[in-house]
Structure 1
């Protein structure tokens, strides 16, 4: 089971890893067409809350508008494109709070976070910007973390999210440029879009917790295999 995005510069290495894994594993999957079995990744999130808490807790108090939890990692062109968008946002007058590790000095922000829930829960909106959006399989914790914190994700990524989650549970960022910034300003100016999406967010959370999580993913695999 491979979870990392299939960055172009890593494709040959990825193919080699798949070939090696097939010598020892009966089932090898990954979120790309190079995998012996292309498949969505199970939902793995980065909230430290217990499963019971995430499943049973209601909507937390929302009193802030928009946040982005990201990092300063710049190993690939994809990472650098994300940082380029961050720089555009930093130079705009969009009001958002930035969190994350190893961010460049020009970005500012509040630094690394421990439990993402504590950071994200007070916000209506969360920027969920994937490092990779070029195939139909890849979607990461960026989307799961936002929804589990009852945020409405403003998502930049591939079409996998549309196949896995109910309509209206997230918004699509149209582009990582001035057009995208204008869209963000319009949406995050008030909580109206979040209010309209509450029921869809609740439905998406149940899908993440009870259908897409790793244990359910493994259970379905065992049922199908045996």
Structure 2
């Protein structure tokens, strides 16, 4: 058993999530080969840690002593850039400073500024994720075959059925041919299981995506998020969730209680523009601090063919539970976020929009409502859902990476390691205080914000804030 201790300043929320993401509800990752990893959450104020691997979420916040073979770190928090428009100074520059992770062996990160640091040296490094990513368009096109069709809100399979016709499937489970649940029994004895086959994933090692600072390896990697779709739903139940009847068209889940990033405010503006447009009555809007708050996020996804998913920034390799939750509910995300999202999901499993061009986004939605795009590309959604469950969840992703690393370093003896937190320099402190003072008066003079940057916002008579 490989013991992994997770250091996080918000471990209680993670603890329940990791438990639910494990196949037996025991916070363990079990490889197909039978090897096991146990994940345990620890706080920075607890006694020294003794384990095989330490996993730091985001950063070390307090000095801490550990005894371990290897120390990993995982970035889940995007760098908050300075925003002159909203008068927001930078907040977490540690996310783009290699020295933040000087005590780590491997760091899985996505913040672009980190990889642009001049002190980094490019290296070749093979990760477990390299074996599951596939940029071959042939695979994506194979997922768009006519074997899958949705008609009158009921799934039909038009493959080689013996009766020669499409078979209606009110209660159907889809699973990938490489799924660990391939031989698992259906939760319903009357449930039909259809296997979705695809080619093995692989991609060429991309040197600029891997770098080294002293003895620390940095790897571009999505943030390995947990799911908010149904926080209390066990992993096995989530995997075997029946395909629902899609009786509605588009939902939009966007909270109005987050204003830390410029991206939060831009998202709010875009959603308001949609609400005030002529499409406003054709979209169901949900979110915290809105008239339609959801008890569970799944209720705003399962009945819908499409759901609007807007990240708080559009940097490459960063995607969150927003797009993953859409796939878990068998919905196609109308997506704004990572510019290279095609690297991780089939190209026809999502629709891209630009929240800074409201008019164009509205036209895309209009065309979507008049098409059968969802039905035509349902196979791509199924493959995207499989990747979420088997490749991109925190437990699966990190479990595979640690296991791969362990095969190389299992003979490495444990050593005492002192984890030191990042400290902001005096120069940076002074500069940030100066920005806070400047933006305080800037907001007063500009009545809260500067000129709205959304392109063409007033081009449609109803698309105004």
With normalisation by structure 2, the TM-score equals 0.44
Q: 1:200 aligns with which of 365, 380, 404?
A: 380
Q: Distance in 2 between matches of 1:74 and 1:43?
A: 21
What is the aligned residue count?
216
Comparing 173-182 with 153-162, which one deviates more in the overlay? 173-182
CA contact (8 A) 1:67 1:127 kept: yes
CA contact (8 A) 2:335 2:350 kept: yes
Judged with a 3 Å threshold, the aligned counterparts in structure 2 of structure 1 residues 160 and 6 are, in CA distance, closer, same or farther, namely: farther
Shift of 1:178: 1.2
> Unmatched 5+ residue regions in structure 1?
104-108
1:62 aligns with 2:246: yes
CA RMSD of aligned residues (A): 2.0
Deviations along 1:97-151, one digit per CA (max 9) or x if unpaired, are 1111124xxxxx412x232112210001100111100x22211111000011011
Deviations along 1:165-212, one digit per CA (max 9) or x if unpaired, are 11211111144411111211221346x111112111111111111111
1:98 aligns with 2:285: yes
Q: Distance in 2 between matches of 1:183 and 1:174?
A: 10
Q: Distance in 1 between matches of 2:261 and 2:394?
A: 28
Q: Secondary structure at the match of 1:153?
A: strand
Q: Distance in 2 between matches of 1:32 and 1:99?
A: 29
Q: Secondary structure at the match of 1:59?
A: coil
Q: 2:220 aligns with which of 38, 54, 59?
A: 38
CA contact (8 A) 2:270 2:355 kept: no
Comparing 29-38 with 155-164, which one deviates more in the overlay? 29-38
Q: Distance in 1 between matches of 2:105 and 2:79?
A: 22
Partner of 2:311: 130
Judged with a 3 Å threshold, the aligned counterparts in structure 2 of structure 1 residues 149 and 194 are, in CA distance, closer, same or farther, namely: same
Q: Distance in 1 between matches of 2:339 and 2:367?
A: 23
Q: Secondary structure at the match of 1:71?
A: coil
More strand by share: 2
1:216 aligns with 2:401: no
Q: 1:185 aligns with which of 362, 366, 388?
A: 366
Q: 1:88 aligns with which of 263, 266, 273?
A: 273
Partner of 2:297: 116
Deviations along 1:8-66, one digit per CA (max 9) or x if unpaired, are 123524235x634433x433222213164332122421122222222122310111111
Runs of 4 or more off by more than 4 Å in structure 1?
A: none
CA contact (8 A) 1:7 1:132 kept: no
Comparing 119-128 with 42-51, which one deviates more in the overlay? 42-51
Judged with a 3 Å threshold, the aligned counterparts in structure 2 of structure 1 residues 196 and 212 are, in CA distance, closer, same or farther, namely: same
With normalisation by structure 1, the TM-score equals 0.87
Judged with a 3 Å threshold, the aligned counterparts in structure 2 of structure 1 residues 171 and 28 are, in CA distance, closer, same or farther, namely: same
User: Whose radius of gyration is greater, 1 or 2?
Assistant: 2
